[in-house]
Structure 1
Amino acid sequence: MTKRNFLLGKGERLVEDVAGVRGGAPKSHPYTFSEAKERIAPMLARVVRGIDQLPDAACPDNRAVATVTLNPEYIAKSYFPERLLESVGLEPIGSRPRRIKPQKRSKGREPEETITTELFVAGSRDAFRAWRSALPRWGEEVKGADELPTIEQVAAPTPRDKIKGRLPKTGETVFEIVLHTDAGTGSNGIIPLFREYLEEIGIDQALGRRFSAGGLCFVELEAPVELVDEIATFTPVRALRQMPSLRMLRPTFRSSRVPMENIVLPTVGPVDPKIRVAIFDGGMPKNHPIGKWVKPIDPPGIGGTIPDLQKHGVGVSSAFLFGHIDPANPVPRPYAAVDHYRVLDTAPKQNPHELYEVLSRIDQVLVEKHYHFINLSIGPRLPIEDDDVHAWTAVLDDRLSAGTTLATIAVGNDGDGPAKGGFNRIQVPSDCVNALAVGSCDSPETPWQRSGYSSVGPGRSPGVVKPDFVEFGGCLQRPFIVVSETPAAAFEATEGTSFSAPSVLRLGAGVRAHFGDSLDILAIRALLIHTAEPSEHPAEDVGRGRVARSVQDIVLCDDDTVRVVYQGKITPTRYIRAPIPMPSGTVPGKVTITATLCYPTGVDPHHPGNYTRAGLEPTFRPHDQKRKDPNQVHADSKSFFGKTQSGLMEDELRRDAWKWENCLHTRVTFMGKTLRNPVLDIHYNARLGGRNFSPKEDLPYALVVSVHAKHLGDLYDKIIRKYARQLEALRPVVEIPVTT
């Protein structure tokens, strides 16, 4: 029998607790207390004048919303001006990233434009007036006064500040309204207040279609466009836009039937019937040839089927079951069966209410049932924005925050749209941080590149590396082959990220089918990212590269390579040490270490710049005997994650935003002689709304580390022998060939 080097599991047995090290120089401030007071006083006076001019009905319970922009040197959670805001009776209810050029920087440095945080704060109009009146008399002994220099600007948003995108000039329009829901009202409390205000300006709406996520409530509202300024005057309104249409990720060329004789589909069931998979799409015809593996489900109350949408649904299901079909080879056996939920019942753009209807159907399923894998090749026709999170993203990220479901989401087919204005950017909800965003490349072989239609990154920070990777999705010269929607088995040529996304999900299901519970869902996600083929293409185009070609590429190692999976949990504020398996003695030549760290996270959609609540901060220590100071407890650290994070912009690197990315991946090469018992020390940070936070729950994580030493042809065997009592080779639970 041919020798097979399977990846190694139980890496968590090597992990141990370690004492953390914290330090840092005293903080230098751009402004003195006197300077800060002098700067802010006139700004606060303008804010009070602005909110005093608002209609009483626009300020529910006499409360108003203003913005407080932090100096860029104070955006870390430890500098959050919590005591200052509390002392003046204001409550932070959200934030967003904002690019500014501050008036001053510390240490006399020249100011430059950079990203900072703009806080939304709410309080009574009396609280704003009292702060304005008291500020000139403040001394440094006043509670929270020492935080005054953290503030760069204070302002009151205008209605026009809240309106997003273009609106029709006249007529009834369906809007999406984003409302702040502070602790005083909550999502259930803000709706009656908003309804009362709308009645005062002549709009009678039930506001029944809505979603709450974090500190936001997303509301569908049908109203005359002429009243848009008055609607946006309601102070809890954060954003207002015309309701986006639902996108169908259709082929950019007209798909065509591929005449094939004697098409033979597999005759057996799935490899693992216990795997639970859901696809949300356009439905399946009755008695279809792939019905052996697909269970069609119609949610209650859904309308009739649309043939074009059903055709799309069949293609997406086919891509999950079989991947790209090569007509020259037998159609492969599916790894898992699938529940296909028909969530579409209206042709796109014909029903302005459909976007929330479809999300409601999807959300209902995710609340009531648990699936190991889900795929979405649908979503709003809306490029993502850096300063706002959409309802689809917020709701899905919340449902996926446990990390027990692997979701693939197509990034969209507008990659050939105008770059100016971001119209070619990945589309909602592929900006979910708890899901895999999948783009398309033009070939399953080498060479390959991004398909021209595949929408591009970057994503929002955190979640900046989007797409996560690409998979073959077809092109005009080489289409993606799926089973057609016709009653007789036939093939169809098509293209689109609609098909690359479920093709990736199929690969993940293949790993699960062969290795069962020995790899949890989070580890499978980490492995898919870890084994993506690197390339020279920009990260904005292809993320971390093209996904592995087969299950074998993920689970098998060459003799000069070892791949180890660590699956565990970490307690808040805890430091753990994960040793990187190395053979005894010095390794000759160069050694390449590849590492991927993934973890699920709760999210704060009302704080897009501080969206993720959990942050794992890894520190790499390559040599356990190297110390710059003989008195230091831990060995010297070396850059590993962080600056090597592909796709991060200079702004993100400068403010250490990578520490809040819930998927870190890097590949670094060292000389073997510089490595001795290398480790990754991992610290768990937590935040809530951009502030310090200590959750009670442990955080699950998956770490995958590969070591490649091309001058050590028996590296795998050496590691197996050295760690025989700790690491285990993971072997398939299903005794069939590992194939795609």
Structure 2
Amino acid sequence: MKKRNFLLGRGERLAEPVKIPTGPVDKISPYTFAEAKERLQPMLNKLAEKISELSDDVCPEGNTVASLTLNPEFIAKSYYPDKLLRTLGLETIGSRKKIIIPEKKSKDRKPTETTTTELFVKGDRNSFLRWASEFSSWKESDINVQQIMEIEEINFPDADTKIKAFTDSGTTQVFEVVLQGNDDFSEVLFKKYLNKLGIEPSFERRFYVGGLSFFEIAAPSELVENIAEFSLVRIIRKMPELRLLRPTFRSTGVGGGKVDYHNLEPVNKNFKVAIFDGGVPEDHPISQWTTSYEFPDCGPATEELLEHGISVTSAFLFGHLDPSLTLPQPYSYVDHYRVLDDEPGQNPYELYEVLNRIDDVLSEEKYEFINLSIGPYLPIDDDEVHAWTAVIDHYLSTGNIVATIAVGNDGEGDPSINANRIQVPSDCVNGLAIGACDVPDNNWQRASYSSIGPGRSPGLMKPDLVEFGGSLGRPFLAVGADGIGYLQTGGTSFAAPSVLRISAGIKAHFGNSLGSLAIRTLLIHTSEASAIPKSEIGWGRVARDLDSIVLCDDHIMRVVFQGKITASKYLRAPIPLPLTPIDGMVNIKATLCYATNTDPHHPNNYTRSGLEVFMRPNKNKKRKIKDGESEPLHALTKPFFGEIRNNFSSENELRNDAFKWENCLHAEKRMRGTSLNEPVFDIHYNARSEGHNDTKFQELNYALIITVEAPKVPDLYDRIVRRYATQLEQIQPIIDIPLRISEQ
């Protein structure tokens, strides 16, 4: 039997905590205390004037909201103005990014346009009025108020700034209203306010996620500004339509051929997969691998919805089909939930109805794999997180689910208004946003219809990956709705479940040896890179077959770390190499992914966890010491994970620390073998909550995959296996069947 070098596991056995001393950083403010007072007093006076004019109705329990814009030099979590807010009796209830030109920069540098953070703070009206009246008497000697030097602007969020994408039609419409806060009491007060306006909302379907509440409200168009005047309203917009990712084209029949079915059971029956879509009839041939579920409140399914549900499920079970072959053996059974029951766009309440059904399932059932080829007809918004994204990201934050989400088919939309940008909820940072390429073999390009990135920061690299989704010259083939012929089609709807199929193939073969985070990391790590802009294809095209993912040539070693890291600590992960020096050049590729809790009310501080990584290539190369200094404990660092920065920093206004909060890092470097001496990655875990330090003890699950390729060392794999024989283990398949999983 031919020797097969499977990827190595248990890399976490090599990792160990390390102590790396860090000293306090003295921050020089652009403003003196006196300058800050002089600048802010007029803003406070204007704020007090507006607050004094507010009616009691718009101030629940006497509370109102103001915004504090931080000077861009003070947006890191360690500079959060906690002492100031406590002194004022205010609390932060949200934030968003804001692009400004500050009045001053420290060290006499010239101010330039840059990104900063706008905080929304809530408090009793009297707290704001007292601040304005007593501000002139504040003394710099009071340590609790010195943080005023960190504030660039103070504003009152007027009602018209909360209204998005709305044109008054003079009729009653369904609106989506987002409140700052997620408690029942705020809901009661908001409902009471709406009643005074003559609006009787049912609030039958609403979502509480993070620090936000999402409501659907039917109201006359002329009352939109009145609704927005309620202090806790963050945004109001016309309810987006539900998008069914309609195929870019479709036709049935391929040369008169019929689908050649079989009755083989799946490769592995021991894990759960869910697809949320348009339904699969129980009498369709693929129902032998599919369990269909209906909701009591669902009406009849249309033929179009069923066709979409069948073809999406076909893509998961079989991938892109070859009419000359029998259907491939599925990797698992699949549960298909019909969450659609009407022509999308006809029911103004459907967006929340569908999300409510998905929420009900995910709250009750524990799935390891899910696919979404549906969502709001809405390009992502840098300033706001939508309910669909917030709800789904919440379920994915455990890291126990591989979720593939289609990015949308509007890649040919008007870029000047971001109409071609990826659509909600493919901006989930804990999911895999999947775009489409035009052919399944070589010389591929992004399919012109596939929506493009970047995503929101953090979460810039969207789409994460692309996969064949069909094109006019090369359609995607799925089983037809009639159960007899083929459907020629195309769209990201089919690329997404095709990637989920590959994920399920890894799970089917390797069982619990690879967790969901590791599978997600493997897909990114082994993707096929391209010179195509990252905003179009993300990290690249998914590997063509399972061999490329789990097998190594003799001169290549790939190792998987699956472990935990503690907040505020450093973890050292060695890069496995032979004991003897390596001849020639060495290519090192590494991918680090983790799942994270999120704060949807702080879009620019959306992820609560961040990992900074430093490479130390040579243990003997240390910083030169000066007279009287002790020898440094650790070797010099070398930049490694700069891929995201290199691709997006010049195109986007980003925070200075934005990249440390990206929850997927991927890069590769070519280095001389002689320059490597016990190289390591040092990983530092930063934790934050609502944009500031989170000091609670907590652990974060991560997956790190490292590949070392040394063309001049023909037995590299075996040499590393021998060196780490008691620590690293080959990840052997639990089901030894042919490993090829996709057709060219």
TM-score (structure 1 length as normaliser): 0.98
Partner of 2:723: 722
Q: What is aligned with 1:369?
A: 365
1:208 deviates by: 2.1
User: 2:141 maps to which residue?
Assistant: 141
> Using a 3 Å threshold, how does the CA distance of structure 1 residues 485 and 644 change in structure 2: closer, same or farther?
closer
- 1:86-105 alignment, distance < 5 Å: 86-105=86-105
- Determine if contact 1:615/1:661 at 8 Å carries over to the other structure: yes
Deviation for aligned residue 1:640: 0.8
| Corresponding residue of 2:391 | 395
Show the counterpart of 1:711: 712
Query: CA distance change for structure 1 residues 6 and 34 in 2, over 3 Å: closer, same or farther?
Result: same
Q: Is the 8 A contact 1:69 1:118 kept in 2?
A: yes
Write the mapping of 1:649-688 to structure 2, written as runs, cut at 5 A.
649-650=649-650, 655-688=656-689
CA shift, 1:143, in A, is 4.3
Shift of 1:694: 2.6
Q: What's the secondary structure of 1:111's corresponding residue?
A: coil
The reply to whether residue 737 of structure 1 matches residue 738 of structure 2 is yes
Task: Give how far 1:427 is off.
Answer: 0.3
Residue type at the aligned position of 1:605 = P
Contact 2:437 2:468 in 1 (8 A): yes
Of the three residues 415, 422, 434, the one matched with 1:426 is 422
Query: Which position in structure 2 is the counterpart of 1:56?
Result: 56
Equivalent residue letter for 2:530: S
Matches within 5 A, 1:241-280: 241-280=237-276
Q: Deviations over 1:131-153 (max 9, x none)?
A: 00111111112242221111000
Q: Give the one of 606, 626, 632 matched to 2:621.
A: 626
Report the Cα distance in structure 2 between the residues aligned to 1:729 and 1:652, rounded to whole angstroms: 44
Give the match's secondary structure for 1:668.
Answer: strand
Report the Cα distance in structure 1 between the residues aligned to 2:431 and 2:313, rounded to whole angstroms.
19
- Distance in 1 between the 2:376 and 2:255 partners? 34
SS of structure 2 residue aligned to 1:144: helix
Higher mean C-alpha deviation, range 579-588 or range 274-283: 579-588
Tell me if structure 1 keeps the 8 A contact 2:458–2:659.
yes
CA distance in 1, matches of 2:599, 2:684: 21
Residue segments in structure 1 that go unaligned for 5+ positions in a row: none
User: How far has the Cα of 1:286 moved from its partner?
Assistant: 2.1
Q: Which one-letter code corresponds to 2:715 in the other structure?
A: D
Match of 2:227 in 1: 231
Aligned partner of 2:451 among 443, 452, 455: 455
- What does the per-residue CA deviation read over 1:173-226, in whole Å, with 9 as the maximum and x for residues that have no partner? 100000001xxxx42111110111111122122222210101100000000001
**Amino acid across the alignment from 1:675:** L
**Corresponding residue number in structure 2 for 1:508:** 503
Q: What aligned pairs does 1:539-618 form with structure 2 within 5 A after superposition?
A: 539-618=534-613
SS where residue 179 of structure 2 aligns? strand
Equivalent residue in structure 1 for 2:277, among 258, 277, 281: 281
Which stretch shifts more, 433-442 or 705-714?
Answer: 705-714
Q: Output the amino acid matched with 2:508.
A: A
Q: 1:7 is matched with which residue?
A: 7
The one-letter code sitting in structure 2 at the alignment partner of 1:205 is P
Map Cα deviations across residues 538-562 of structure 1 (whole Å, 9 max, x no partner).
Answer: 0100000101111111001111111
Distance in structure 2 (CA, Å) of the matches to 1:261 and 1:174 = 47
User: In 1, Cα distance between the equivalents of 2:163 and 2:644?
Assistant: 37
Question: C-alpha displacement at 1:6, in angstroms?
Answer: 0.8
The answer on 1:498 being equivalent to 2:487 is no
1:313-352 equivalent positions in 2, closer than 5 A: 313-352=309-348
- Corresponding letter in the other structure for 1:153: E
The answer to whether 1:521 aligns with 2:524 is: no
**Does the Cα contact within 8 Å between 2:621 and 2:636 map onto a contact in 1?**
yes
Deviations 1:287-312 (A, max 9, x none): 11111111111123221111100100
Go from structure 1 to structure 2 and tell me whether the alpha carbon gap of 1:8 and 1:646 turns closer, same or farther (over 3 Å shift): farther
What is the CA-CA distance between 1:25 and the residue it aligns to?
Answer: 4.4
**Which 10-residue stretch deviates more, 494-503 or 52-61?**
52-61
Work out the percentage of aligned pairs sharing the same amino acid: 53
Tell me how far apart the structure 2 counterparts of residues 330 and 710 of structure 1 sit (CA, whole Å): 39
8 Å contact from structure 2 (residues 375, 424) kept in 1: yes
Question: Take 2:53 and 2:271, find their aligned partners in 1: how far apart are those partners?
Answer: 60
Q: CA deviation at 1:622?
A: 0.6
Residue 244 of structure 1: how far off its partner (Å) = 0.2
Residue 531 of structure 2 corresponds to residue 531 of structure 1: no
Asked if structure 1 preserves the Cα contact closer than 8 Å seen for 2:555 and 2:711, the reply is yes
1:24 deviates by: 5.6
Match of 2:628 in 1: none
**Structure 1 CA distance, aligned partners of 2:686 and 2:289?**
43
Asked if 2 retains the 8 angstrom alpha-carbon contact of 1:272 and 1:336, the reply is: yes
Rounded to whole Å, the distance in 2 between the matches of 1:529 and 1:695 is: 31
Deviation of 1:697 (Å): 3.5
The amino acid across from 2:552 in the alignment is C
Alignment root-mean-square deviation, CA: 1.3
> Could you tell me how far 1:99 is from its partner in structure 2?
0.8
Which one-letter code corresponds to 2:354 in the other structure? V
CA contact (8 A) 1:645 1:664 kept: no
Residue 573 (structure 1) shift: 1.6
1:381-392 alignment runs, 5 A limit: 381-392=377-388
CA distance in 1, matches of 2:728, 2:380: 42
Q: Residue 702 of structure 1 aligns with which residue?
A: 703
Partner deviation per Cα, 1:227-246 (whole Å, 9 max, x = no partner)? 11111000100001000000
Q: Which amino acid aligns with 1:412?
A: G
Shift of 1:696: 3.7
DSSP-derived class of the 1:363 partner: helix
Which segment is superposed worse, 612-621 or 115-124?
Answer: 612-621
| Contact 1:87–1:143 (CA under 8 A) maintained in structure 2 | no
CA offsets per residue over residues 611-630 of structure 1, 9 Å max, x none? Answer: 01111111111110000135
**How far apart in 2 are the matches of 1:521 and 1:410?**
19
Deviation track 1:433-481 (CA, whole Å, cap 9, x = no partner) reads 1100000000111101100000000000011100001000001110100
User: How far apart in 2 are the matches of 1:262 and 1:241?
Assistant: 48
Deviation at 1:571?
1.6
Equivalent residues in 2 for 1:5-44 (5 A)? Answer: 5-23=5-23, 25-44=25-44
Deviations 1:261-315 (A, max 9, x none): 3531232110001121000000011211111111111123221111100100000
Q: How far is 1:376 from its partner? A: 0.2
Residues 259 and 479, structure 2, Cα contact 8 Å, conserved in 1:
no
Inter-partner Cα distance in structure 2 for 1:386 and 1:494: 32
CA distance in 1, matches of 2:137, 2:334: 68
Give 1:594 deviation, angstroms.
Answer: 0.8
Counterpart for residue 112 of structure 1:
112
Pair 1:469-2:470 in alignment? no
1:327 alignment partner AA: P
Which residue is equivalent to 1:443? 439
Cα deviation for residue 641 of structure 1 reads: 1.4
CA shift, 1:656, in A, is 2.3
CA distance in structure 2 between the aligned counterparts of 1:619 and 1:21, rounded to whole angstroms:
14
Secondary structure of the residue aligned to 1:458 is coil
Give aligned pairs, total.
735
Structure 2 residue identity aligned to 1:166: F
SS of residue matched to 2:637: coil
Assess, with a 3 A threshold, how the Cα gap between structure 1 residues 652 and 330 changes in structure 2: closer, same or farther: farther
Give the 3-state SS of the residue equivalent to 1:212 in structure 2. strand
1:80-114 deviations in Å (ceiling 9; x for gaps):
00110110111110000111111111111110101
Displacement of 1:259: 4.3
> Is the partner of 1:515 in helix, strand or coil?
helix
CA distance in 2 between counterparts of 1:492 and 1:33 reads 70
1:654 Cα shift? 6.1
Aligned with 2:42: secondary structure?
helix
* Alpha-carbon distance, 1:253 to partner: 2.1
Q: Which amino acid aligns with 1:354?
A: E
SS of the residue 1:510 aligns to: helix
Farther off after superposition, 270-279 or 694-703 = 694-703
Cα contact 2:258–2:486 (8 A) shared by 1: no
Q: Does the Cα contact within 8 Å between 1:642 and 1:653 map onto a contact in 2?
A: no
**1:255 Cα deviation (Å)?**
3.5
